[in-house]
Amino acid sequence: MEKNIEQLKAEIENLKAKVTSIENSRKDQLSIAIVSGDLDKILATMIISLAAAASDMKVKLFFSFWALAALRDPRKKVKGKNFISKMFGLMLPKSKDHLKLSKMNMMGMGPMMIKNLMKKKGVYSLDEMFKMAGELGIEITVCEMSMDLMGFKKEEFIDYPNLRFAGAATFIADAAESSVQLFI
């Protein structure tokens, strides 16, 4: 009898540990890997993130490849870049205010029209959205590998609270414990 109870206790402990690990693997958390640097995709990223944060979800954004252009600060200049890095810097949008639309860009007419419409319809601007994201504790991680690849330096990114620099393993770890994972 006593042995049975001991056994049951052990099993309950075992189950408890399992439940905790399952709970931890499905946190109320949103992870997004953002690869695209198009204005429309970055807007979608920020709107979804803010809606999640408004529902008290933890939000972790992983910016990589073309999306890095959205985090550039045009006022910050860095010296000592090689030719290819300089070319990347020149060819890519200088900041989130210079992003192109994935469709109907029309040499910059499209983004201008969208921004005007957004203002008219009361949609937050990207600047406002990034500011709010910072206030709401949305975490932004810069993919260090793509940063190196394109020759960007840590010093030329926007001022954002706790901007982190990490690799794909960080995204995987964050995504693994999130209940929602997106790729944009």
Partner 1 sequence: MTVEELKQLQVAKSVDARSMACPGPLLEAKKAIGSIKPGDVMEVLSSDVGTTNDIPKWCAKQGHEFLGFYEDSGFYRIYLRKK
The region of 1-9, 52-60, 107-115, 165-173 touching partner 1 under the rule CB under 8 A is 52-60
Residue 124 makes contact with partner 1 by CB under 8 A: yes
For partner 1, give the closer residue by CB, 52 or 150.
52
Asked whether position 101 contacts partner 1 by CB under 8 A, the answer is: no
Sole window of 81-89, 116-124, 148-156, 173-181 interacting with partner 1 (rule: CB under 8 A): 116-124
Whole-number Å distance between alpha carbons of 36 and 45: 10
The span of 46-54, 145-153, 161-169, 176-184 binding partner 1 (CB under 8 A) equals 46-54
Total interface residues for partner 1 by CB under 8 A: 13
Q: Exposed, middle or buried, 81 (CB in 10 Å: 0-12/13-18/19+)? A: middle
Does residue 50 bind partner 1 (CB under 8 A)?
yes
Task: Give the contacts of 181 (CB within 8 A, at least 6 positions apart).
Answer: 30, 31, 32, 33, 175
Q: Find the shortest distance in angstroms from Cβ 135 to partner 1.
A: 10
Calculate the alpha carbon distances from 38 to 50, 101, 102 in Å.
18, 5, 6
Under the binding rule (CB under 8 A), the answer on residue 56 touching partner 1 is yes
Residue pair 168/142 in contact (Cβ under 8 Å)? The answer is: no
180 contributes a contact to partner 1 by CB under 8 A? no
Could you give the 3-state DSSP secondary structure of residue 67? helix
Closest CA to 143 of 45, 70, 44: 70
The only residue of 8, 19, 47, 87 in contact with partner 1, by rule CB under 8 A: 47
Distance CA 83, CA 80 (A): 10
- Which positions lie near partner 1, rule CB under 8 A? 47, 50-51, 53-56, 118, 121-124, 132
